[in-house]
Structure 1
Amino acid sequence: MTTIRPHASTVERVPLRSALHDLPAYKPGKAAPVSGTTQYKLSSNENPYPPLPSVRDVVAEAAAGINLYPDMACTEITEAIAKRWDVPAASVSFGAGSVEVASQIIRAVAGEGDEVIFAWRSFEAYPILTGLAGAKAVHVPLTADERHDLPAMAAAVTERTRLIFVCTPNNPTGTSVTADELHAFMTAVPQDVLVVIDEAYVHFNVDAAAAHGIDFFRTYPNVVVLHTFSKAYGLAGLRIGYAIAPDYISAALRAVAIPFGVSALAQKAALASLDAEDEIEARITSLVTEREKLHAELLSIGWDVCPSEANFVWLRTGEATQELETIFTEAGVIVRAYPGDGIRISVGTPEANRQAVQAAKAAFNRLAAER
């Protein structure tokens, strides 16, 4: 006999975790709509170049084995990264992108009632991942020149603080932290508070005074460094990132990681990318050159644009953000808008960047006409 279940609206619903009630939604960069005109997607900080032929060939060969589980220990790429940075293999751990590794860190270190500090605005996954762990997100405003206010972040530490994220270069503003600033910060932070130096965009950072996470890992016992293959290496679609951390932290990250979370294709592609670093470096140099051109042209229009050390630039547009985003979209340029704050424009091909400049000029003129 068939049992008739009552309609879903008439039964008591399964309760969800309270942490989900106020959780902000992660908003990925918009995709370019399909239309008859050329559209440039500059909303996700992606590398605009296609995969290197050598990397593509390795991925194609590895695809023949996707019926099998990947190496959960990421053995080969772990050894390669350990050699690359001259650190013990036990200090290296992987995840499906550095954001997934950041999630591992939070889940390993922070729980109900604990605090996680980060600058704001910074990477928008930080408050989401913190909330999912049941911890409290502590936002510390950026300075007037869009940089981390490290003294204010140090002053925000309490007995409940477990973790601090320092995103340098910062997403979405592109500003970086200097070595002197970070050393002063580290001396002000208790050693039982973990400091994560998130360097997703470090390959584009050409500031001679910039902090280098690996140096701080070697100097301080409470530092973790995050890197990713998504940006400079152009593997955003394969999702692989890693942490360099004290060995007991790395062991904890592996304990909370999703089993088999890093695909075999991603591992092989990362290895091939490390073998092709000369070609990768040439692409990075090209993108940095384009970034500097884009920055200079925005300044010439009249925009007050802070120097960027990442593969994007930041326009502080405040309450006009959504209105100006529409101007970019209508011009065929898809940008990343942060309502009430600003617009981030990823560095693309020269053609895409030229179109972005034209859209930025129209947006600036709109603002000027409304004032």
Structure 2
Amino acid sequence: MSITRRDWIRQSLLASATMLVAGPHVAQGCASERPDEILGKDDFILLNWNENPYGPSEVAKQAVGDAMKYANRYPDEKINELKEKLAKKNGLKPANFLLTAGSTEVLSLLGQHVGLQRGEVLTPFPTFPTALRFGERAGATIKKVELDANDRIDLDQTLGAISDKTTMVFICNPNNPTGTELETEDLKAFCRKVPENVLICVDEAYVEYSNAGMKGSMVDLVNELPNLVICRTFSKAYGLAGLRMGYAISNVRNIQALRDRHLGAEISTGWPPLVAASASLDDPEFINTCVAKNAEGKQIVYDAYDRWGVKYNPSSTNFVYARDDRFEKDLVAKMRAKGILITKWPTMTDHFRVSIGKPEHMRMYVKTVEEFLV
């Protein structure tokens, strides 16, 4: 369907289909990696879900404790407060933000939107699968563009793959599971070239860890491009994965359309995650420390892989993606038997992924995984 920019602005692309409600999401390939019986046990080193081993920050913990006396109240006040803070931090308005229980809620809404139009999601692949999986469940076609020889997103190939069937382009930057990052200006140029009747979803879950940092965000394009939606989360660098706090950034019409179709009407989050997120934004030193310690942990893995001749991607995230051909088969199971959980999605036919824990975790990981070198 071809529409003009003026038509698009009058009626958001996201307002053109009814959203459905799907069941709870489990990240692809992770359901069997972390069963309930091990949650909370200190005898496992958890290096499989890209969690921040240092979080939440002390100020976030204090804020959550103080907030419990308001747990009987709806959190409208704190929703508005967090939006104001995010708007100031990103140079936008509160109306440019939708708060959700993790960024997976935004991704699932976008996937369902495309699926209910029987549209097409175009994506570099492999990548984070939530939007793709929910899109397929709702009837979308998924069109994949292979990564280049260095596991990097090929923007030229992706742009060339856009057709009149394409409803949304999904870009995860830095990319999960490969850990690679696009140059900021290259991605901005790409976004500007995408036709205005095609949504662009840029998932910035790992932007705080990236080489470019927050300067690598596409947020500067929000007021320029009416078809851009950015997803972010407090689950990674901020260490709030268990509190489920994320958000979408877009123009006001898109945000309103997403909110109208959001199952929780923006109150799926409560006082604890809202105040934890707000307090975390006031504690930049915690993020700086986590990023620095993450780099230290990555270097431990890099040094070991270099010694052993293991091929890996220098990572702009809190995980490392590596080829598995230098290790025995069934590495995930063998590491699990040693008390260390790592990841190998079904799509990772020749690779595996290890999240970065504390330096002592990574030294233990290196010592253990060396046992399975071939």
User: TM class, shorter-chain normalised?
Assistant: 0.7 to 0.9
Q: Secondary structure at the match of 2:330?
A: helix
Contact kept in structure 2, 1:322 and 1:337, CA below 8 Å: no
Distance 1:263 1:209, change over 3 A: closer
Counterpart among 273, 284, 289 of residue 277 in structure 1: 284
Counterpart among 118, 139, 154 of residue 134 in structure 1: 139
1:166 aligns with 2:175: no
- Aligned match of 1:250: 255
Instruction: For 2:344, give the aligned amino acid.
Output: A
- Aligned match of 1:289: 296
Aligned length: 346
Q: What are the Cα deviations for residues 163-220 of structure 1, in whole angstroms up to 9, with x where unaligned? A: 1111011111100111243134234421211111111001111248984222333543
Counterpart among 324, 347, 350 of residue 356 in structure 2: 347
Instruction: For 2:30, give the aligned amino acid.
Output: K
Q: What are the Cα deviations for residues 214-260 of structure 1, in whole angstroms up to 9, with x where unaligned? A: 23335433222211100000000010111110111011111111222
Q: Secondary structure at the match of 1:147?
A: coil
- Aligned match of 1:52: 57
Q: Secondary structure at the match of 1:337?
A: coil
- Aligned match of 2:30: 27
Q: What are the Cα deviations for residues 6-56 of structure 1, in whole angstroms up to 9, with x where unaligned? A: xxxxxxxxxxx9x99xx9966345258489994211000000014222211
- Aligned match of 2:369: 360
C-alpha distance in 2 between matches for 1:265 and 1:208: 27
- Aligned match of 2:94: 89
Instruction: For 1:138, give the aligned amino acid.
Output: K
Distance 1:82 1:208, change over 3 A: closer
Distance 1:132 1:69, change over 3 A: farther
Query: RMSD over aligned Cα, in angstroms?
Result: 2.9
Higher Cα radius of gyration: 1
- Aligned match of 1:3: none
Structure 1: gaps spanning 5 or more residues: 1-16, 367-371
Distance 1:173 1:161, change over 3 A: same
C-alpha distance in 1 between matches for 2:140 and 2:77: 28
C-alpha distance in 1 between matches for 2:205 and 2:97: 16
Identity rate, percent: 32
Distance 1:107 1:124, change over 3 A: closer
Q: Secondary structure at the match of 2:86?
A: helix
Instruction: For 2:34, give the aligned amino acid.
Output: K
Distance 1:146 1:359, change over 3 A: farther
C-alpha distance in 2 between matches for 1:256 and 1:288: 39
Contact kept in structure 2, 1:317 and 1:343, CA below 8 Å: yes
C-alpha distance in 2 between matches for 1:30 and 1:220: 40
- Aligned match of 2:246: 241
Distance 1:289 1:115, change over 3 A: same
Instruction: For 1:329, give the aligned amino acid.
Output: R
Q: What are the Cα deviations for residues 96-121 of structure 1, in whole angstroms up to 9, with x where unaligned? A: 10111112233445524200112211
- Aligned match of 1:369: none
Contact kept in structure 2, 1:319 and 1:341, CA below 8 Å: no
